[in-house]
Amino acid sequence: VGRERLSGSKMLQLLTGTRTSTYWLSNYLFDAIVMLFNYITMITMLKIIDVIRNDEANEISPLAANENIGYLFLLLAVSILPCCTLAYVWSFLFKTELIGFILLAILMGVAAFLDMLFTFIIIFLNFDTTSRDTVLINFINFLQYVVLILFPNVTVKRGMY
């Protein structure tokens, strides 16, 4: 999307008379289909590796179990919408793709770290039952929900956990 905007190839959409909504919807659907293909490939590889290893103690065994793999696929399929949306919104903020990609990768890594940090803080605050600060716990829970809504990688991380 960023490359099309910078190179001017988006002008082809205007020259052919395609409506803007049709152009962007087709781009969005194409990207969603590519992500769906990637997720199907990942799920297939997880299942193949699980079958080859055939070890209940393996770390991917619970994810690749017959009763869980459908839920994992559903989680990943539902995450396509927010992932594509975030990528499209993010692409309008930067002049070059590389800068946008690097900053988004850093931001998503920081979001996953903050989610983990907030969880540890809540666990430590809940240890002391006599002087529990419910206002602070509620505030940190609120921050966790904000991170959960804004960053799809945190949602997938929590769902897989």
Question: How confident is the model at residue 116, as a pLDDT?
Answer: 93
Residue 70: other Cβ atoms inside 10 A: 10
Return all residues near 91 (Cβ < 8 A) that are at least 6 apart. 1, 2, 5, 97, 100
For the whole prediction, is pTM greater than 0.85? no
Tens digit of pLDDT at every position of the chain (161 positions):
566 666 666 666 667 777 777 877 888 898 899 999 999 999 999 888 888 888 887 777 777 888 888 888 888 888 888 888 888 888 778 777 788 888 989 999 999 999 999 999 988 888 877 777 788 888 999 999 999 888 888 888 888 77
Residue identified by tokens 């962007």 is 24
Return all residues near 76 (Cβ < 8 A) that are at least 6 apart. 39, 42, 43, 156
Question: How confident is the model at residue 125, as a pLDDT?
Answer: 84
Maximum separation of any 2 CA atoms in the chain, in Å: 70
Spatial contact of 160 and 72, defined as CB atoms under 8 Å apart: yes
Question: How confident is the model at residue 1, as a pLDDT?
Answer: 57
